[in-house]
């Protein structure tokens, strides 16, 4: 943003370090906006030590448009954001329904809606022969009241700067998960690689770096430990059954790439047997062993990444069980604005949880 907003302009915010507290968020990001607007309402906000919870601030100057968006996110993924009025596209349009947003904020924080304040307005001024204006509408709460409310729900304020997508993001006071996130993931076209096996999920990663946790728990049958099993029948759950069927398909089934050379085929059979035993007959598989399993799958399958529909079953169904998935993101503070790179515009962790 340097070059768009000048250091002498009150809306220019220089950020040397990551901000992790509400006090930092307020002093470094919020107060410069409040103090700049010569309005009784905003001066009152400064005196009240208030923080914006949900809403927007539109800034227009020096031939550029810049938006500041505030919303709430909880540790379990719940969010409270303003919903733009349909058809609202310009700075002059109605921004959002404050009453509707106030009710959602109150529900997230577990407080009465009448405790939540509203500030809105617009100001125009001329600076260096440039016509500048700012318009804002946001719901706020005294910072001390917010601290009390947010601790029980583990709520954070997320502040984003950018017109179409964030070029800078602040999260205070702690990292939060966002469910049903907007990153690019299509289970019908995604490709996966085995990573590890946990006691309640099997972890994969896509070729674009998105983590996928197969957390399906339904019992779908019984297994005696594979083709060279122990003879003791154990119940199987859907996430392991899908992996078992895929491994068998590339080992001895319809996807197996057999060799005419008997010695090669014998070694391939040993590899398939060891792969199935290592991947399925342990409560947990660490990432070190997971890399061996991933390399074994690549050896038998022929490619490092497998289509998700092959790993999870076509259209992610198996034995009549229809699976669902939640996209999630883990929001953290981004880095220094003076050293912004493309990866800073993305969230730190992107992952998908597959459920039944």
- Considering the domain architecture, whether residues 219 and 168 belong to the same structural domain is answered as no
Is residue 183 a part of any domain in this protein?
no
Domain closes at, from 123, 150, 177: 177
The verdict on 59 and 168 lying in the same domain is yes
Q: Are residues 195 and 318 in the same domain?
A: yes
268 part of a folded domain: yes
Indicate if 270 and 138 belong to the same structural domain: no
Residue 85 domain boundaries = 22-177
- Number of domains the chain is built from: 2
- If asked whether residues 27 and 173 sit together in one domain, one would say yes
For residue 269 the two structure tokens come to 């059979």
Q: Is position 6 within any domain?
A: no
201 and 297, same domain (yes or no)? yes
CA nearest neighbour of 174 among 21, 347, 351, 17: 21
134, part of any domain: yes
List, for residues 150-197, the tens digit of each pLDDT value: 888 889 998 888 877 777 788 888 888 888 887 888 888 899 999 999
How does the average pLDDT of the chain come out, rounded?
A: 78
Looking at the structure, do residues 173 and 202 belong to the same domain, yes or no? no
Residue at a domain's end among 177, 206, 241: 177
Percentage of the chain beyond pLDDT 70 is: 76
Residue 118 resides in a domain: yes
Q: What is the pLDDT of residue 207?
A: 92
Give me the pLDDT at residue 19, please: 54
Q: Are residues 157 and 199 in the same domain?
A: no
pLDDT band at residue 149, thresholds of 50, 70 and 90? confident
> Does 153 reside within a domain?
yes
How many whole angstroms from its chain centre is CA 36? 33
From 113, 144, 177, the end of a domain falls on 177
Mark whether 255 and 287 lie in a shared domain: yes
pLDDT in tens, 31-60: 776 665 555 556 666 667 888 999 988 887
Average pLDDT, integer, range 103-131:
83
257-271, 279-293, 306-320, 341-355, range with greatest mean pLDDT: 279-293
Name the residue among 15, 16, 55, 54 with its Cα closest to residue 32. 15
Domain-embedded: residue 9: no
Highest mean pLDDT: which range of 55-69, 202-216, 230-244: 202-216
pLDDT of residue 299 exceeding 70, the answer is yes
Residue 173 and residue 26 share a domain: yes
Q: How does pLDDT run across 74-104, given as a tens digit for each residue?
A: 888 888 888 876 655 555 667 888 999 999 9
pLDDT for residue 294: 93
The structure tokens 């990866």 sit at 343
Q: Is the pLDDT of residue 262 over 50?
A: yes
Rounded (10°) CA dihedral 195, 199, 200, 205: -10
For 183, other C-beta atoms within 10 Å of its C-beta total 16
27 within domain boundaries: yes
12 has pLDDT over 50: no
Q: Are 192 and 308 in contact (CB under 8 A)?
A: yes
Residues 87 and 210 in one domain: no
Residues 112, 213: one domain? no
Digit-coded pLDDT (tens) for 314-344: 655 665 666 788 888 888 765 544 444 444 4
């Amino acid at each position: 943003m340097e070059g768009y907003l000048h250091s002498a302009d009150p809306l220019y915010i220089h950020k040397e370090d990551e901000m992790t507290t509400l006090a930092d968020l307020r002093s470094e990001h919020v107060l410069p906006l409040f103090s700049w607007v010569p309005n009784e309402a905003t001066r009152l906000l400064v005196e009240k030590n208030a923080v914006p919870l949900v809403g927007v601030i539109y800034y227009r100057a020096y031939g550029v448009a810049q938006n500041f968006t505030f919303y709430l996110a909880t540790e379990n993924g719940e969010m409270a954001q303003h919903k733009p009025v349909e058809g609202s596209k310009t700075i002059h349009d109605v921004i959002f329904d404050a009453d509707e947003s106030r009710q959602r904020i109150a529900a997230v924080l577990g407080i009465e809606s009448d405790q939540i304040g509203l500030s809105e307005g617009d100001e125009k001024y001329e600076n260096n022969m440039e016509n500048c204006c700012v318009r804002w509408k946001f719901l706020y709460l005294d910072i001390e009241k917010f601290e009390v409310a947010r601790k029980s729900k583990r709520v954070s304020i997320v502040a984003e700067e950018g017109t179409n997508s964030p070029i800078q993001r602040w999260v205070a006071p702690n990292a939060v998960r966002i469910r049903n996130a907007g990153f690019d993931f299509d289970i019908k076209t995604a490709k996966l690689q085995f990573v590890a096996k946990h006691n309640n999920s099997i972890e994969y990663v896509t070729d674009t770096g998105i983590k996928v946790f197969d957390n399906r728990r339904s019992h779908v049958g019984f297994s005696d430990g594979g083709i060279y099993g122990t003879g003791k029948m154990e119940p199987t759950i859907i996430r392991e059954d899908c992996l078992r069927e895929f491994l068998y398909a590339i080992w001895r089934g319809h996807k197996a790439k057999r060799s005419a050379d008997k010695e090669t085929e014998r070694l391939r059979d040993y590899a398939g047997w060891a792969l199935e035993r290592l991947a399925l007959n342990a409560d947990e598989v660490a990432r070190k062993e997971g890399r061996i399993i991933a390399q074994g799958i690549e050896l038998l399958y022929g490619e490092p990444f497998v289509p998700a529909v092959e790993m999870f079953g076509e259209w992610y169904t198996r034995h009549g069980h229809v699976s669902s998935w939640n996209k999630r993101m883990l929001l953290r503070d981004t880095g220094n604005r003076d050293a912004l790179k493309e990866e800073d515009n993305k969230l730190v962790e992107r992952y998908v949880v597959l459920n039944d």
